[in-house]
Amino acid sequence: MSCVQKNIEKILKKKKITIYKASRLINVDDGALYRMVRGRSNFSKKYINKIIPLLEVSREEFESWIIADKYPKEIIKKAISVKQNPPAPVEIPQQKTKETESPILTAQIDELILKKGLSRTKLSKLINYGQGIFNQMIIGKHKISCNVIERLSEVLEISQDEINSWVLADKYSLEFLCMAWEVCTSEE
């Protein structure tokens, strides 16, 4: 059973509310809510905004359940570690760095390509991906695809979990990641 399902059902049971009744109370489609609770579809922002007051949990707590379901605990643990000890920004010759860049993913990738004597341009060619969109992914302005993560893993000789942990660390605060970690480890 997923973390989301377990926690929602536990709270609803305490309140003596069924999923059907909950859907009526928050004015949403009962079939859609049922599918989201069961993990058959993702929670939309609309549904999250409507259900958290009923459950009496914070948005962060609710979303930590989603993250605990979405990522293996090893990736969450690595994300916490890199967030606690962030890498120093790496200066690449002839590469402009902007304040809006994702610092962890950007710094880690740049450090690895420097060690290998590469540039982002050369790396994009090695993974057979367009340089413009690839740079947008590296700096966090565009979602990095699983395909790109797989190719980066092969070329840079690091695990996909490692790259996913950097993406996760850039996306969420340390506090949020720790909440997700607690959810993961409390189920053991």
**For every one of its 188 residues, what pLDDT tens digit does the chain have, with 9 covering 90 and above?**
889 999 999 999 999 999 999 999 999 999 999 999 998 999 999 999 999 999 999 999 999 999 999 999 999 999 999 999 888 777 665 555 554 445 899 999 999 999 999 999 999 999 999 999 999 998 888 999 999 999 999 999 999 999 999 999 999 999 999 999 998 888 65
pLDDT at 95: 55
- Please say whether the structural domain 3-70 has been given the CATH code 3.30.360.10: no
> For residue 67, which of 145, 7, 9, 14 has the smallest C-alpha distance?
7
Coil, strand or helix at 51: helix
pLDDT at 185: 85
Domain ranges of the chain: 3-70, 77-176
pTM of the predicted protein model: 0.81
pLDDT at 100: 46
CA torsion, points 105, 110, 116, 121, in degrees to nearest 10?
A: 110
Please give the CATH topology (third level) of the domain spanning 77-176: 434 Repressor (Amino-terminal Domain) (1.10.260)
